[in-house]
Structure 1
Amino acid sequence: MEKKMGYVTYDQLKECIPDLPSGPLEKYRKQATFDWRRMKLVYDSLSTIQLKKHVWDFMRTHPLFQHQSASRTLDEERHIAVKRMYAIYNETFVPDLKLIDDPGLFQAQSEAMFMFDSALAVKVSLTFKMFANTIQGAGRDHHFNYLDDIEKARIGGCFALTEISHGSNARGMRTTATYIPEKRQFILHTPDFEAAKCWVGSLGKCATHAIIYAMLMSKGKNHGLHTFVVPIRDPETLLPYPGVTLGDLGEKIGLNGVDNGFVMFNNYHLPKEAALDKLGGVDDNGDYQTPFRDPSKRFGASLGILSGGRVHITSISTAYLQKAIVIAIRYSAVRKQFGPPNSEEMPVMEYQQQQIRLLPYLAATYALRVFCNWFCRTHIQLTINRFMGVDDNAAGRGIEMHALSSAVKPVCGWTARDGIQNCREACGGHGYLKAARIGDLRNDNDANCTYEGENSLLLQQASNWLLNVWSRRGTITKDDTPYGSLQFLDNADQLLFETCPWNTVEELIDPANLTHMYKWLTAYMLKMTHEKVSTLKSSGKDNFSAKNDSQSFNAVTLSVVYGENFIVNHFYKSANAFEDARCRNVLLKLVSLYGAFMLEKHMATLYIGGFFSKDQGLLLREGILRVCAALAPQAVSLADTLAPPDFCLNSVLGMADGEVYKHIQSSVMSYPGSMSRPEWWRDVVFWRSYIPSKL
């Protein structure tokens, strides 16, 4: 009989997700108490699973998407990324109307590309999607001819905000766009190299247009940072226009398929129509106009647009961790070392230290994937609503989206950073092979901790918003928190009088209790940070100095905890609502492990605040170890759920058949030049014979 899960039948799942090959991993797969295909539905739908399969089937058979063993040169990396970008962009995997009806399909298509090659996905996103979304969100009807050109790939764009000497401090940007009423033109100008736009993805070699952020100057007044759509290269020749100086920043430690560049403007004239001024700009006479009476509303609405990069970086970081954890789990189930006396060697997965190095990050991958898929869909829907003019609280959504993305982007980036490094080390020497692919994942993810806002600075933006809501915590409305991230403030004053009432391992790792502990922790950190800032101001410090001196151990921790609290709660709600009982039981164990593992990092604060006492911290740690042991038999099947196809994973340690040593043998023996004498062999002989004669 066909098994049904909501509107999805098991036969439909099997059609999209092929059986796994038998091999050394079979022992662990037989121990799983849940169905690994079914588990995908906690973060995917049938339509997103089908779309990813469609994308991967296209890649698998296309000659441009075949892997090579040896590393490419920088120019080759740039070249193959561009060719793949146009090959993908030329395909219609799903009709546009269906994409609008189901925002999750946008996320699924992006995830499918990231699982194969992150540089490809970044190139597509920057060159077409982010470029078009900015024009849709901030442009007017006369800008929409650009959208037709983007759709037909006649032009390609990039997003230029950061300057050489200014990144996160938008107010310090020095590129100017001065309006000349007599000519109805802006003059775009870069005063010196320190004001050059830099780290602009897709600008270095290929972009024909750029979204430029510049200070809008009119009638001697600076109206602040505004956006302009600026032609920078001739689409027919790719040569820069007169008045535009641009170039490539060169090789990076990762993501070298993305051509990050810099650009400078020398009194470059633009028509007035270049301004993306739906949210505010100058009229023909140079007088400033905006549809928002309250300047903060204009700022709030614009924040929703600016948040897009951070929102989607959460998913990018998760994709890197997702691939790394699959590789490390599968390898750990095959690799055998030592064992009890007079017995066979054991898989390293059975060792407690291996479990605690990997399984909390397996749980984190599920937590982040469930959250990020929701977060990206939510942001896409916000963008669609703004474009359609149907959102009556765009400012409120934009402000909370900005605060939440400023907190969870660092949480996801740092979790991926630490998790991938643990995966690399847990795979021992073989994990250091390039063919293992974990090193590439680590290097590529590194950028996520910096671009679209350096993580520590982003946390300040989240904490600033939180500090502003503390004083009105008793009057928070749905308009203030349309996404519910401030629910931890419900009855906050009463909550902060509580102490932890649980005194057994089982109670301390119970998912419901963990969410309550996080609620207390978040409220406590907000209260303590607010009091620290207030005390410093009372002692005579100005607002800037008071906030600056409240970052370490206060505001930074507050923002991290705020982001973790939302992710933990979202994961718990999603797990609890999952209809399949066997999957739900395993998911709740993952909630326990993720929540307890993240909470343990704040142990000192729990004791300092008086919430924990006596041996509750020890019991929490014991709970982490117990859940790890309970999840170890499920780990391979949990990894199978997360795994992309083998040709996307492309790791000798992580293939679905578990034949690690056969894949290593094939890789090292077929690597170009691995078994041949080097061309410079005579130098070896010469210097070997020369050195003794000098002694």
Structure 2
Amino acid sequence: MFDVNDIRKKMDLEHGTLPTHVKLHLTDPPVSVKGYICFNMFFETVYTYGTARHQKYCKLSYEGKITGALCITEVSHGSDTKYIQTTARYNEGAKEFILNTPNFLAAKCWIGNLGKVATHIVLFAQLITSDNICHGPHMFVVNIRNPKTLLSYPGITIADLGSKVGLETLDNGLIMFNNYRIPKENLLNKLADVSDDGMYISRISNPIEQFGISLGILSSGRINVLEITTSFMRYGITVAMRYAAKKQSVANDRNATSILKYASNNQIRLIPYLALVYVNEIMYNYMRSVQDRIFQALYEGNTMMALRAELHALSSAAKSISTGLVRDGIRECMEVCGDHGYLIFSALGDIYNGNDASCTYEGDNSILLQQTAIWLLKLRHNALQKENNVTLSSTNFLFNSEEILNTKFKITCLADFIKPQNLLAYFQWLTCYLLKTTYEKQLSLTKNGNASFARNDSQVYYSRNLASAYLLTFFIQRSNLIISEAPDESLKRVLLQLLSLYGVWNLQKYIHYFYQGTYTSGPMFGQFTEDSILFLCNNLKDDAVSLVNVIAPPDFLLNSAIGHVDGKVFKRLDSSLTHTSNVFSKLNWSTQMPDWKNCISKL
């Protein structure tokens, strides 16, 4: 008998090891996206939401005999998943589900791996029983292509979406169904099933709760995006830091120095993003271990609803905030390298384009932050009633929100200001303040007759910042706990400096709230924040290249003429320029120049 747990161990999904897709992240982020969807996401979804009858798909996926994709998004339905239009109607006589795409707007779209290679998909479709009752979106395993020929089956139309700005490695596709039949057993039935005679059976009494559990796989995807985008930042900061550390003059010039060491401006443009990579890596490993625990619990029949909701809030905010920060960070890396950063063989253009798509897939960033804020607002009542139903300690401080909001800033020296425990206190106050003001803003809008748009109208300056502050609070809290367990004191010292820099660098965006909420007055708080960034960057500048080398990909994968580990920037730049095809070619006047007379005659 095939043991899915044994396969799970072999796929390195147990705690304390690196999953297969994470190893790919460390070497090639774009390929890792494809590999994650193909095998890990497909495997995890079938494993978690299926039962014994679906183990065969896990086995085939593990052996590489089938490739997978996850089909949720439709042309006209992205974030509003519960309104998808693809249907799976149960045929009692044939004991089959009949899949249909009612119109083009219902076509499953932007599905990774679907364009060319996916043989099987996990399909989200509206389950309709033979009594014509719709039971909402459910998941089905669907064989869409012959695994040997990769030809699609009759009743299925598949189109590749073609070239994109970035992530060309991933073949995004569109699929439509026309009375395509699948066996009844293909319904992933961990949460609900349909009997042979068409009776719908749900193991979760609350339909909303059941739907929420079924979307749990999206938290896994968003946690994965945190690692993907961090890997792109790892590539970008490696190129820029090595370039910036190179002496910008001839080799024998004793006065030559690097733009990293002589200019604090360049230090604060790069070193905070190095801190971002380290903190994100720590938090990714932690959040991934929590997600694996949830998957294992669900497989064993425990829904862990409180933990699931908390991780959904955290992963939604983490995906949104990290993709935005990394997008800006890679852009900064390009600009630090000057004109050279825009050359193809600097690799920074490919890195930027590869990461940019992360800002849109796995959920719209604005909506994800709103979801986190909505969850926090629901917790506010529990916090006031001293009722705690969360398990990662991410919101425990909210139960003391009134005391926290009554505290005032009293730090008098820079050394104390940058301590992680004090930075945590600032962010806890900020989260409590924004939670209170967001709640009051929505209450005011509702009372004034704007209930329908209360959430939307409080999004930009309230909910978005609330979700961001909450996520940053948790990252600082958890990272500090994990770093404190480091066995080596010198390692711990450097990591704590990186964490402090990550904290004050992000704190700078929210300084006005501390004055607005009367946490502080006078110039000291704002001045300490700016001085802290300069102080920490200066402290870390001598270790910056070594810290980059620890996380850098091998040179043959980085493939950057200006980011090589040997530091021979200009020698390799010379070689790349002079050995590129056609760089010395002459303009062919007869074939390459336009026919000006003909052009003018057409005006």
* The two structures share one fold, judged by TM-score above 0.5: yes
Alignment map for 1:197-212 (pairs within 5 Å): 197-212=108-123
Which residues of 2 match residues 460-475 of structure 1 at below 5 A?
Answer: 460-475=370-385
Indicate which of 143, 165, 170 corresponds to 1:231: 143
Contact between 1:301 and 1:394, CA under 8 Å: does it hold in 2? no
Task: Give the CA deviation at 1:630.
Answer: 1.4
The whole-number CA distance in structure 2 between the counterparts of 1:214 and 1:476 is 40
CA-CA distance at 1:579 after TM superposition: 2.1
- What's the offset of the Cα at 1:346? 2.6
Question: What percent of counterpart residues are identical?
Answer: 38
Change (3 A) 1:490 1:152: same
Find the aligned partners of 1:423 and 1:483 in 2 and give their Cα distance: 35
Corresponding position: 1:641 with 2:553? no
1:510: how far off? 2.2
For residues 18 and 534 of structure 2, the distance between their equivalents in structure 1, rounded to whole angstroms, comes to 38
Q: Residues of 2 paired with 1:401 and 1:134: CA distance?
A: 17
Which segments of 5 or more consecutive residues in structure 2 lack a partner in the other structure?
Answer: 1-5
Question: What's the offset of the Cα at 1:99?
Answer: 5.0
Pick the aligned partner of 1:545 from 446, 449, 453: 453
Q: Give the letter aligned to residue 386 of structure 1.
A: L
Q: Which of 394, 399, 414 lines up with 1:485 in the alignment? A: 394
| Correspondence for 2:270 | 358
* Contact 1:411 1:564 (8 Å CA) reproduced: no
Change (3 A) 1:396 1:300: farther
Contact 1:331 1:653 in 2 (8 A): yes
Q: Pick closer, same or farther for the CA change 1:303–1:172 going to 2, 3 Å.
A: closer
Q: Distance in 1 between matches of 2:403 and 2:480?
A: 24
Amino acid at match of 1:490: F
1:372 and 2:281 matched: no
2:442 to 533, 543, 554: 533
Pair 1:561–1:520, CA change in 2 (3 A): same
Question: Does residue 1:604 correspond to 2:515, yes or no?
Answer: no
Q: Secondary structure at the match of 2:42?
A: helix
Structure-2 separation of matches of 1:395 and 1:190: 32
Call closer, same or farther: CA 1:270–1:102 in 2, change over 3 Å.
Answer: closer
Secondary structure of 1:561's counterpart equals helix
Deviations 1:387-411 (A, max 9, x none): 345xx45222221111111111111
| Residues 1:102 and 1:273: Cα distance change in structure 2 (over 3 Å) | closer
1:158 paired residue number: 69
Deviation, 1:688, is 10
Q: Which residue is 1:272 aligned to?
A: 184
Which of 392, 395, 403 lines up with 2:313 in the alignment?
Answer: 403
Q: For residue 192 of structure 1, what is the amino acid of its counterpart?
A: N
3-state SS, counterpart of residue 346 of structure 1:
coil
- Secondary structure at the counterpart of residue 245 of structure 1: strand
| Aligned residues of 1:155 and 1:235 also touching (Cα < 8 A) | yes
Distance across 1 between alignment mates of 2:15 and 2:574: 43
Aligned pairs for 1:114-513 within 5 A: 114-218=25-129, 219-336=131-248, 344-350=255-261, 351-389=263-301, 392=302, 394-475=304-385, 480-513=389-422
Q: 1: distance between equivalents of 2:249 and 2:481? A: 39
| 2:481 corresponding residue in structure 1 | 573
> More relative contact order in 1 or in 2 (CA 8 Å, sep 6+)?
1
Query: 2:70 is aligned with what amino acid?
Result: F
Change (3 A) 1:686 1:231: closer
Q: CA deviation at 1:126?
A: 1.2
1:67-86 per-residue CA deviation (whole Å, 9 max, x = no partner) reads xxxxxxxxxxxxxxxxxxxx
- Residue correspondence of structure 1 range 77-88 to structure 2 within 5 A: none
Please say which of residues 434-443 and 197-206 is displaced more in the overlay: 434-443
Aligned to 1:655: 564
**What are the superposed Cα offsets for residues 257-312 of structure 1, whole Å, 9 maximum, x if unpaired?**
11000001112222211211211233223332122234454344334333111111
Q: Match for 2:95: what amino acid? A: R
CA distance in 2, matches of 1:491, 1:324: 41
Distance (Å, rounded) in 2 between the aligned partners of 1:490 and 1:393: 25
Mean Cα displacement is larger for which, 118-127 or 362-371?
Answer: 118-127
Q: TM-score, normalised by structure 2?
A: 0.93
Q: Distance in 2 between matches of 1:124 and 1:333?
A: 34
Which position in structure 2 is the counterpart of 1:49? none
Residue in 1 that maps onto 2:494 = 586
Which AA in structure 1 matches 2:532? Answer: G
- Provide the rounded CA distance (Å) in 2 between the counterparts of 1:102 and 1:407: 25
Residues 1:288 and 1:355: Cα distance change in structure 2 (over 3 Å): same
Deviations 1:394-444 (A, max 9, x none): 222221111111111111111111111111111111111111111111111
- What's the CA shift for 1:386? 2.8
Distance in 2, matches of 1:233 and 1:116, equals 30
Contact 2:8 2:14 in 1 (8 A): no
Distance 1:669 1:279 in 2: 62
The 8 Å contact of residues 13 and 292 in structure 2, kept in 1 or not, is answered as no
- Shift of the 290–589 alpha-carbon distance from structure 1 to 2, 3 Å rule, reads same
For 1:659, give the aligned amino acid. Answer: K
Alpha-carbon distance change, 474 to 577 in structure 1, aligned in 2, over 3 angstroms: farther
Tell me, yes or no, if the aligned pair for 1:488 and 1:522 is still in contact at 8 Å.
no
Partner Cα distance (1:188, 1:686) in 2: 54
Structure 2: distance between partners of 1:292 and 1:146: 25
Q: Distance in 1 between matches of 2:13 and 2:122?
A: 28
CA positional deviation for 1:450: 0.8
Which AA in structure 2 matches 1:550? S
Determine the C-alpha separation between the residues in 1 that align with 2:406 and 2:583.
Answer: 66
Distance in structure 2 (CA, Å) of the matches to 1:97 and 1:309: 20
Match of 1:112 among 23, 26, 36: 23
Deviates further, 112-121 or 156-165: 112-121
For 2:311, the aligned partner's letter is M
- Distance (whole Å) between structure 2 residues aligned to residue 432 and residue 560 of structure 1: 32
Deviation at 1:572, TM superposition (A): 1.9
What SS class does the counterpart of residue 215 from structure 1 fall into?
A: strand
User: Offset at 1:499?
Assistant: 1.8
Instruction: Identify unmatched segments of 5+ residues in structure 1.
Output: 1-93
Residue deviations 1:431-470, cap 9 Å, x none? Answer: 1111111111111111111111011111111111111110
Q: 2:417·2:423 contact (CA, 8 Å) conserved in 1? A: yes
- Which whole-Å CA distance do the structure 1 matches of 2:483 and 2:196 have between them? 55
CA RMSD of aligned residues (A): 2.4
The question of whether the paired residues in 2 share the 8 Å contact of 1:321 and 1:419 is answered with yes
Amino acid in structure 1 at the alignment position of 2:239: I
- The whole-number CA distance in structure 2 between the counterparts of 1:142 and 1:285 is 19
Q: Which moved more, 1:533-542 or 1:326-335?
A: 533-542
Counterparts of 1:27-46 in structure 2, within 5 Å, are none
SS at match of 2:181: strand
Tell me the distance in 1 between the aligned counterparts of 2:491 and 2:12: 30
- Contact 1:179/1:217 (CA < 8 Å) preserved in 2? yes
SS of structure 1 residue aligned to 2:47: helix
Write the distance in 2 (CA, Å) between the matches of 1:474 and 1:622: 37
State the shift of 1:373 in Å: 1.8
Query: How far apart in 2 are the matches of 1:112 and 1:470?
Result: 40
Separation of aligned partners in 1, 2:433 and 2:594 = 70
Shift of 1:649: 1.8
Distance change (3 Å), C-alpha of 1:98 and 1:137: closer
Aligned length: 590
Q: Distance in 2 between matches of 1:238 and 1:597?
A: 49
Distance 1:224 1:96 in 2: 30
In the other structure, the counterpart of 2:3 is none
Q: How does 1:13-32 map to 2 (within 5 A)?
A: none
Conservation of the 8 A alpha-carbon contact between 1:300 and 1:395? no
